[in-house]
Structure 1
Amino acid sequence: MHVIIVGAGEVGQSIAENLQETHDVVVVDRDEEIIEDLTYSMDVLAIRGNGTDISTLREAGLDEADLVIASTDNDESNVVICGAAKTESDAFTIARVRRRTLLETWQGTQGAFGVDFMVCTDLLAAQTIFRISGLPAAQDVNMFAGGLVRMAEFEIGPDSPVADLSIQEADCYDSMTFAAIFREGEMTVASGESVIRSGDRVVVIGSPDSVKGFASDITTPDHSENREIVIIGASEIGFQTAREFEDHGYEPRLIEQDHDRAREVAEALPNTMVMESDATDTDFLVREHVDEADIVIAALDGDEKNLLVSLLAKRLGVDRTIAVIENLQYAELFEQVGVDVAINPREETAEEIIRFTHTAHTEKIAMVEHDRAEVIEIEVGEDSAITGRPIAEAAAEFPDGVVIGAISRRGDLITPRGTTVVEPGDHVVLFVDATVLDQVLEML
């Protein structure tokens, strides 16, 4: 596949890095220094130029492009790039935008602007925050098969009842599969003999009820429900997060220091209590009982600010903190110093876009541990290596690092066992080590 990526920021570079080994990738950016770095650091063709200029797109091979991804930091430029690409090619076009209003305009007239798919960075981040907030101890949550299947990653605490148990001993859930264990930077594909230790991150795949039951079982009862939500910062992500909670029946509280912005979001969010204050004012936080919140979400403009207010919330006694980070390199640091979950909007966007570069049968992907592995949903055809065979037999041909986590068949969830036979048209959700992903996709 010939892929043109316009905009070599974090999103563009993340996509290019993911695709460089299996696709013909061309990256376009205005910054000469970035282009020079990409030339030596990645197996891509890096071109300096303006992606809104049709001559630049031609130089990037527009006439043979299968996919054009517009991921600059300017919404309007991304729309123009897609429109320009459509004038001279049949490439599938993807525009990354930040404004939800632009996404809603496009959704009302799909196919407009020459954009085949539009992804809204801030909305994706808000949706991710909401999903993670619904499960105690969850580090990552994704839905597959139209909501029938849930994947979640949990950190195991020292008092968790599954700590020091083997997978076989801990597996008492009829419709859930243990997929992998991450420990001190190393990944182990789960087997019955694998032992879960305190501090591990465990990836599970199954029905929403089973995954929620597991989440409740590995945490203390007091923290099994997250009802009191405090959002700090009325940035666009903070605003979208509050709206996401409102849409699901919650009444969050939002703290914003700027008077005009606080007034603006208060008028737009009827079920959110908006408080105008400095979120680092400890007396205010105590007076407003922020310490009693189940979750505090730091969505200020600036990684350092979000780290500060997250640690302050922890100091006050808040159980869970979620921080938005712009610099992906900070993610591990944030979690090491006490922030429970760090969300990078650009990583969420890259994940959403990359699925279009996989096989046509790939319905959805979710990156795990910053692309150490992927959970993918595949609609299997008659020629798939796993169709018409018991899973135990078919799985023996897979490379190490693959777990079949769930199967959706005509709207019903099937928990895979060794004797389960996959049928054409089934939607299969698999956990796959990133190092063998391309090999597995070819087999499927």
Structure 2
Amino acid sequence: MIIGAGEVGRHLARSLQAVAELILVDADAKALTEAEEGLDALTLVGDGTHRSTLAKAEVHRAALVVAVTPNDAANLVSAALAKRMGAKESVARVDDPDFYETNQGFERGALLDIDAVLCASRLVGVELLRRLAEVRARQVIPCAAGTVHVASHVLGEDAPLVSRGRSRAASWPEPVRAVIRAGAMRPVAEVTHAELGDIVLVAGAPLVLLETLHGLTPASGSVRTTIVGGGDVGVQLAQLLGPLGLLDRLIELDRGRCWTLAEQLDGVQILHGDGTNLAFLREEQVGRADALLAVTGSDEANLMTSLLARELGVDHVFALVHRPGYAGVYSHLGVSGTVSPHETIAQVIHWQQHGLDALIVGRWPLDGLAVEVLELRLGEDDVRLSDLPLEGCVPLQIAGATMRTPKPRSTLSRDDHLIVAVPTGRVATLEKVLRKRGRKRSS
């Protein structure tokens, strides 16, 4: 059940209609009429915060209820009420960043018995952090609704860990979980020295992973980022990147907003200027940036800024796309690094919907390696990690109400997701054994 037939609700419904039976609820009959065009879903005119509306929609039969109206409070009420009336899972869109305890865009077990809340601007920010991490890594995989990123990174000859030589043991950063050498994967605890060409697997929260990759990269390879746009997305990214020394400056068109940002963002250089003005960008030597994020509220401005940045020599350009389907315009003009709030919300809801009953919630092959990253949800309480058949595998992260580093004595709950690196040849066997184990426990 989707409550809210605005742009987000319609986009979500279109993305889900092939994999789920849908009912779309909104108090605006006109919005539902527009949504019905080309959509295979039932519709109901009514207020999602009212028991009578949810009862008429048979909310007790819903596997998942998603409240995505433009009103944060209404979404929280609708999701909480749906859960109370028998929905299996409920998710609320809350766009106010101050509501959240973390800098993630997705939090589980928030309050009011709601299973999860999501913030569009923060989800976009998390995805942009992943894109920046890809500048340093060979691959970055988003797991657990983007709350965990897993990266594979090759150690070059000038990498700090390699340049120290074999005279002393490597001091591996804590988020480094495994080392792949000559095709063989080993837990990092079993690898004494770093060698040229080692591929390390790094796992953690998006900002932790980005910071770790920065530490694994020689100083000459550090990436300086310019942000164009001082709205919610730009501010949140500046707050994260600034303290790490990864932010060059933030450019904002509105002079009054610049003064506000200068007070809000300590230690961040704020420039008043137009990111779509070529003369301004040249004067400020924007081309010296390694990466640029165009995150204003205007798709046209973001597109123009991206094209100009590419023209000035910026190697990595990423742009925020607000309107569904507009990313194709960017791609046609040569800007492929686009991020859409609608798409990020849809991806998270697909993950939530798929994870209701699946053992393997996600599966990603690592490029050029005989290793895959699996996201597992066992759906049981009190499962000790050491009791699972993970021979030859390396647990990378546990994601649940909290995020934890996997240890042999770690215990999983039914809502925890285990991220694990598995040799490709063992995936089928591991799945078979885990399913057999689950059937034995349930019987």
**Residue 355 of structure 1: aligned partner:** 351
2:129 is aligned with 1:130: yes
1:161-310 equivalences under 5 Å are: 174=183, 207-208=201-202, 225=221, 227-246=223-242, 248-310=244-306
Contact 1:149 1:206 in 2 (8 A): no
Contact 2:228 2:234 in 1 (8 A): yes
Take 1:96 and 1:307, find their aligned partners in 2: how far apart are those partners? 27
Residues 291 and 95 (structure 1), Cα distance of their counterparts in 2 relative to 1, 3 Å cut: same
For residue 96 of structure 1, the aligned residue among 80, 88, 93 is: 93
Residues 117 and 148 (structure 1), Cα distance of their counterparts in 2 relative to 1, 3 Å cut: closer
2:62 is aligned with 1:62: no
Residues 139 and 93 (structure 1), Cα distance of their counterparts in 2 relative to 1, 3 Å cut: farther
Residues 389 and 268 (structure 1), Cα distance of their counterparts in 2 relative to 1, 3 Å cut: closer
Residues 294 and 239 (structure 1), Cα distance of their counterparts in 2 relative to 1, 3 Å cut: same
Contact 1:144 1:364 in 2 (8 A): no
**Residue 412 of structure 2: aligned partner:** none
Contact 1:175 1:207 in 2 (8 A): no
Report the Cα offset of residue 340 of structure 1: 3.5
**Residue 23 of structure 2: aligned partner:** 26
Take 2:258 and 2:224, find their aligned partners in 1: how far apart are those partners? 20
Q: Give CA deviations for 1:231-268 in whole Å, capped at 9, x if unaligned.
A: 00101111112123235442331001212221222222
Contact 2:141 2:149 in 1 (8 A): no
If the length of structure 1 is used for normalisation, what is the TM-score?
0.65
What is the letter of the counterpart of residue 174 of structure 1?
Answer: G
For residue 15 of structure 1, the aligned residue among 9, 12, 16 is: 12
Identical positions, percent? 29
Q: Aligned with 2:247: secondary structure?
A: coil
Residues 70 and 282 (structure 1), Cα distance of their counterparts in 2 relative to 1, 3 Å cut: same
Q: Aligned with 2:274: secondary structure?
A: coil
**Residue 376 of structure 2: aligned partner:** 378
**Residue 85 of structure 1: aligned partner:** 82
Report the Cα offset of residue 137 of structure 1: 9.3
Residues 336 and 60 (structure 1), Cα distance of their counterparts in 2 relative to 1, 3 Å cut: same
Residues 147 and 87 (structure 1), Cα distance of their counterparts in 2 relative to 1, 3 Å cut: closer
2:49 is aligned with 1:52: yes
Q: Aligned with 1:73: secondary structure?
A: coil
2:413 is aligned with 1:416: no
Report the Cα offset of residue 346 of structure 1: 1.7
What is the letter of the counterpart of residue 298 of structure 1?
Answer: A
Take 2:357 and 2:323, find their aligned partners in 1: how far apart are those partners? 32
Contact 1:223 1:294 in 2 (8 A): no
Q: Aligned with 1:339: secondary structure?
A: coil
Q: Give CA deviations for 1:248-305 in whole Å, capped at 9, x if unaligned.
A: 4423310012122212222222232111222233333222221111111111111111
What is the letter of the counterpart of residue 93 of structure 2?
Answer: R
What is the letter of the counterpart of residue 255 of structure 2?
Answer: H
Report the Cα offset of residue 376 of structure 1: 6.5
**Residue 119 of structure 2: aligned partner:** 120
Residues 260 and 227 (structure 1), Cα distance of their counterparts in 2 relative to 1, 3 Å cut: same
Q: Aligned with 1:136: secondary structure?
A: helix
What is the letter of the counterpart of residue 62 of structure 2?
Answer: A
Q: How many aligned residue pairs are there?
A: 346
2:344 is aligned with 1:330: no
Take 2:44 and 2:52, find their aligned partners in 1: how far apart are those partners? 12
Take 1:367 and 1:18, find their aligned partners in 2: how far apart are those partners? 21
Report the Cα offset of residue 107 of structure 1: 9.8
**Residue 38 of structure 2: aligned partner:** 41
Q: Aligned with 1:329: secondary structure?
A: coil
Q: Aligned with 1:230: secondary structure?
A: strand
Residues 147 and 207 (structure 1), Cα distance of their counterparts in 2 relative to 1, 3 Å cut: farther
Residues 22 and 151 (structure 1), Cα distance of their counterparts in 2 relative to 1, 3 Å cut: farther
Q: Give CA deviations for 1:375-432 in whole Å, capped at 9, x if unaligned.
A: 96234699xxxx98999xxxxxxxxxxxxxx86486696441436774479999xxxx
Residues 364 and 294 (structure 1), Cα distance of their counterparts in 2 relative to 1, 3 Å cut: farther
What is the letter of the counterpart of residue 183 of structure 2?
Answer: D
Q: Give CA deviations for 1:159-205 in whole Å, capped at 9, x if unaligned.
A: xxxxxxxxxxxx997379xxxxxxxxxxxxxxxxxxxxxxxxxxxx9
Runs of 4+ more than 6 Å apart: 105-109, 137-140, 221-224, 387-391, 424-428
Contact 2:92 2:116 in 1 (8 A): yes
Take 2:280 and 2:318, find their aligned partners in 1: how far apart are those partners? 20
Take 1:89 and 1:319, find their aligned partners in 2: how far apart are those partners? 51
**Residue 184 of structure 1: aligned partner:** none
RMSD of aligned residue pairs (Cα, Å): 4.4
**Unaligned residue ranges in structure 1 (runs of 5+):** 153-170, 177-204, 369-374, 392-405, 429-444
What is the letter of the counterpart of residue 119 of structure 1?
Answer: L
Residues 421 and 116 (structure 1), Cα distance of their counterparts in 2 relative to 1, 3 Å cut: closer
Take 2:253 and 2:332, find their aligned partners in 1: how far apart are those partners? 28
Residues 286 and 65 (structure 1), Cα distance of their counterparts in 2 relative to 1, 3 Å cut: same
Take 2:260 and 2:119, find their aligned partners in 1: how far apart are those partners? 21
If the length of structure 2 is used for normalisation, what is the TM-score?
0.65
Take 2:74 and 2:245, find their aligned partners in 1: how far apart are those partners? 36
Residues 52 and 378 (structure 1), Cα distance of their counterparts in 2 relative to 1, 3 Å cut: same
